[in-house]
Structure 1
C-alpha cells in the first residue's frame, strides 16, 4: 500500500488537469482565399546589451524576414528564446524592448503576432517582465512560461497545434560561456508540473499537425549538442504522440534532422552564427539532413507553410536565398476526414 505522505506529495506534484474545450487563435490577416497557415521561426535574435544593442546578423536577418513575410506570407512569428542577450531584461520598462525588438523588426509584414518563449539568457533576467510586456505591445504574445496555441487552417477542416515549452524550467539553466550543460531544474515540482501538462495536452491532441517548440535542442550536431534531459523526458512523448516536429534554437545555426518520424528544426541564427559541428557523431546516423552556420549566410530563419495535408519548411539565409526545403505529412490521428473540433 502506498504510504500516505508519499501519496500526498504526488498529488502536489501532479496537479489536476481538467478537460476543457480548445480555444483557437484568430488569424488577423485577410485569409478569405487562403488555405494555409504560414509562419516564421527564429531563435537567439536578442542583440547585445550595449550600443547599438543589435548585431549585423540580427539586422540582416530582420530585413530578410520582412521581405520573406511579404513575399511568401506570414501569419505570425515563433520566437524560440534568447530574446535579449546576455542577461534578459530586468523590467517590463526595459529599453531593450525598443532597442532590440520594436526598432529592429520594423517591416509592416512583421507587424503580426510574435509568440514568445524563454531561453537560458532570458532566465538570467526576469522572464516575468517579458510576459508582462505582452500587455504593452500589440504583437508580443507571451502569456505564460509555457502554453498551447491552436489554429484552424483557413477554408479546410484541418487544425494546427503548437505547444510552447520552457525548457530551462524543465531541464535547468546553462552558462554558454562555460559551455555548461543543463544540470537539472531549479524547482523539480515546477518541472514535473510542466511535463505532466505537456503529456496531458499531447495525449489529448487530435490536431492534424502537432508542433512542440522550446529553446534547448533535442538533437543538435553543434556546440551544445543533444540535450540529455530532453532526450530522456521530451523525445519519448514526441515519438509516442506522433508530433510533426520540434522547433528550437540555442545553437546559433540552422539544422534539420529527421528521427523516428519526427522533424527536428534548429533555428538559432537570428543574431550570431556558429559553424561548430563538434557533436556531428552524437546524433543517430543519417538523421542530419541539413546544416549551416557559415558567416557568409549573414543569419537565417525558417519559413513554414501548413496546408490541408502537409507542412513545408524552408530554411532561408539573410542574404536572400533559400538553402533547404523539406515536407512533413499530416499526422495520422485516426480521424481521416480531419473534421474534429479538438474538444
Structure 2
C-alpha cells in the first residue's frame, strides 16, 4: 500500500515537473549552427471576403510583402491574430474558404511555415471548431485548441520564449463590427472562467525569458473599437503582475504600438483592410501611443518580430515595401 502510494505520488510530481508542454520544433531553420534568434510575423484581420474574388487588394499586397520580409529577415512561424475568414468564419472543415482565402493567397515558400492561429469575432460568427479541425488537413495551419501555449528554445542561447494564445471572444464576448457593438460579456461564463484560471496558472508558472500573450481584441487601442473594457479588467493586471513582455492583437484595422506599465502593446490588424480611425486617442493613457498608421496608401501591413538572447525587436512594415517603425523590448527580469 505504501509502495503504491509512493508510486502515485512520484507520478503526480513527474507530471507537475513536466509542465509546461514540450518545446516547439523550429524545423531546419532552427537547427542551423549560426542561429541565435527566433523570427516571426504577426498578422491580424487578414480573412479575405465571403464571395468572389474571396480576397482584397490589401490582403494580396500584404501577402506579397510578407514573403519578401520573410525571405530577407527570416520567419520561423506566423501568428494569425484572428478574423481569419470574413465575415462569418467557416461552417465546416470542408469549407472552400480555406483554399480561397488562405492556401491560395499565402503561397510563397517563405510563408510555408507554421501558422499559429487564434479566433476573432468574425470567426466566432461561424464554426471555430472547424478551423481547429483544419489543423489535421494542413501541414502549416496550427490551431490545436481555442487557447493554448507555445514554448520555444532560442537557438544557441539557452534562453526561452513562451507565447500564450488566447480566445478573447470566449473571454469577453462577441462584438458586431457593423453595429459597433462592444463585447458585452462571455456567452458562457464557465468557459470564460476556465480560460482565465488557465491563463493565471500559465503566467504564474512561466520562467520564460520572453513571455508574450496574443489574442484578437486589443487591450489598448486608439482606433474605432478602442480599449476593450473586459481585457482592461481581466487581462491587463495579469500582464503587469507577471512582467509580460508584450501583448499582440488585431481587431482594429491598422498598425499601432503602445507602451504602458512596462508592457508593449502591438496592434497588427491591417492584413485585409486599412482604417485610419483615431477616435479613441483620448481613451488610452497619456503618452502611451508610440506609433500609429492607418493610411490606405500603405496597402496594408504587418509586424516582424525577432527574439534574441536579450532583446525583442519589433519592426512594422507596410505592404508598399517600407519599414515604418521599429522598437526594442528587453527580456524579463525576475526578483
Question: What is the TM-score with the length of structure 1 in the denominator?
Answer: 0.92
Corresponding residue number in structure 2 for 1:339: none
Corresponding residue SS for 1:289: strand
Corresponding residue number in structure 2 for 1:280: 281
Corresponding residue number in structure 1 for 2:227: 226
Corresponding residue number in structure 2 for 1:149: 150
For 1:273 and 1:225, locate their aligned partners in 2 and report how far apart those are by CA, in whole Å: 16
Corresponding residue SS for 1:29: helix
Report if the CA contact (8 A) 1:211-1:244 is conserved: yes
Corresponding residue number in structure 2 for 1:29: 28
Corresponding residue number in structure 1 for 2:208: 207
Corresponding residue number in structure 2 for 1:341: none
Runs of 4+ in 1 over 4 A off after TM superposition: none
Corresponding residue number in structure 2 for 1:91: 92
1:124 aligns with 2:122: no
Q: CA deviation at 1:29?
A: 2.8
Corresponding residue number in structure 2 for 1:46: 47
RMSD: 0.9
Cα-to-partner distance string for 1:130-187 (whole Å, 9 max, x where unaligned) = 0000000000000000000000000011000000000000000000000000000000
Q: CA deviation at 1:18?
A: 5.7
For 1:47 and 1:270, locate their aligned partners in 2 and report how far apart those are by CA, in whole Å: 9
Corresponding residue number in structure 1 for 2:198: 197
For 1:173 and 1:120, locate their aligned partners in 2 and report how far apart those are by CA, in whole Å: 6
For 1:317 and 1:18, locate their aligned partners in 2 and report how far apart those are by CA, in whole Å: 44
For 2:219 and 2:23, locate their aligned partners in 1 and report how far apart those are by CA, in whole Å: 28
Q: CA deviation at 1:32?
A: 2.2
For 1:72 and 1:261, locate their aligned partners in 2 and report how far apart those are by CA, in whole Å: 27
Question: What is the TM-score with the length of structure 2 in the denominator?
Answer: 0.94
For 1:309 and 1:98, locate their aligned partners in 2 and report how far apart those are by CA, in whole Å: 39
Structure 2 residue runs without a partner (length 5+): 1-14
Query: Residues 153-192 of structure 1: matches in 2 within 5 Å?
Result: 153-192=154-193
Q: CA deviation at 1:19?
A: 6.0
For 2:324 and 2:272, locate their aligned partners in 1 and report how far apart those are by CA, in whole Å: 18
Query: Residues 282-301 of structure 1: matches in 2 within 5 Å?
Result: 282-301=283-302
For 1:32 and 1:76, locate their aligned partners in 2 and report how far apart those are by CA, in whole Å: 19
Corresponding residue number in structure 1 for 2:4: none
1:303 aligns with 2:304: yes
Report if the CA contact (8 A) 1:115-1:140 is conserved: yes
For 1:259 and 1:283, locate their aligned partners in 2 and report how far apart those are by CA, in whole Å: 9
Where is the helix percentage greater, Structure 1 or Structure 2? 2
Q: CA deviation at 1:33?
A: 1.1
Corresponding residue SS for 1:134: helix
Deviates more, 1:126-135 or 1:19-28: 19-28
Cα-to-partner distance string for 1:75-120 (whole Å, 9 max, x where unaligned) = 0000000000000000101000000000000110000000000000
Give the length in aligned residue pairs: 318
